[in-house]
Structure 1
Amino acid sequence: MARSDTDHRIRDLVEPFNKKGVEITDATTFAGDLEFDSLTVMDFVAAIEDEFDIIISMNQQAEIETWGQLVDAVEALKPVGN
């Protein structure tokens, strides 16, 4: 699956969390632009983990600040063929 496909799948997942309808780019930040609090981040990460059958560690989560970093991290963690 191409990075663009991963990006699209994650965009579908973020929709219910994006309460303000922020336009998402690779530079969009979760804390600043989307105004995610820690509970929202946990719920969003759980949805991503379920969708892609991956686990994003707490250390990895702490390093992910932008949409592009998230998509790249999911790409790196995905099982082959997912």
Structure 2
Amino acid sequence: MSDRTEIFDTVTRLIEPFNKKQAELGESTTFQGDLEWDSLTVMDFVAAIEDEFDIIITMNMQAEIETVGQLVDAVEKLKA
């Protein structure tokens, strides 16, 4: 299994408690549109991601991340 696949699996596992709409999760799932997250949910989720992967996601980076796939790419880059 590739690092990216492992990151994707971990990210989707971390999304589950926040996935109140039970949206199907894929690379193109959007946090605002599909999951309908508010800013507080985003902050809680980002904290969970940062703790899990021991990384820091800057506010600028957060602003550019709209989909699960983009988040996986960002985590992969930050872990490198």
TM-score where L is the length of structure 1: 0.92
> Following superposition, which runs of at least 4 residues in structure 1 exceed 4 angstroms of deviation?
none
Please give the secondary structure, in 2, of the residue aligned with 1:48: helix
Aligned to 1:6: 7
Find the aligned partners of 1:63 and 1:42 in 2 and give their Cα distance. 14
Aligned to 2:67: 66
Q: How does 1:1-82 map to 2 (within 5 A)?
A: 2-78=3-79
Q: Calculate the aligned-residue CA RMSD, in Å.
A: 1.0
Find the aligned partners of 1:55 and 1:2 in 2 and give their Cα distance. 18
Find the aligned partners of 2:72 and 2:65 in 1 and give their Cα distance. 10
Identity over aligned residues, as a percent? 68
Shift of 1:3: 0.2
Structure 1: runs of 5 or more not aligned: none
TM-score where L is the length of structure 2: 0.95
Task: State the aligned residue count.
Answer: 79
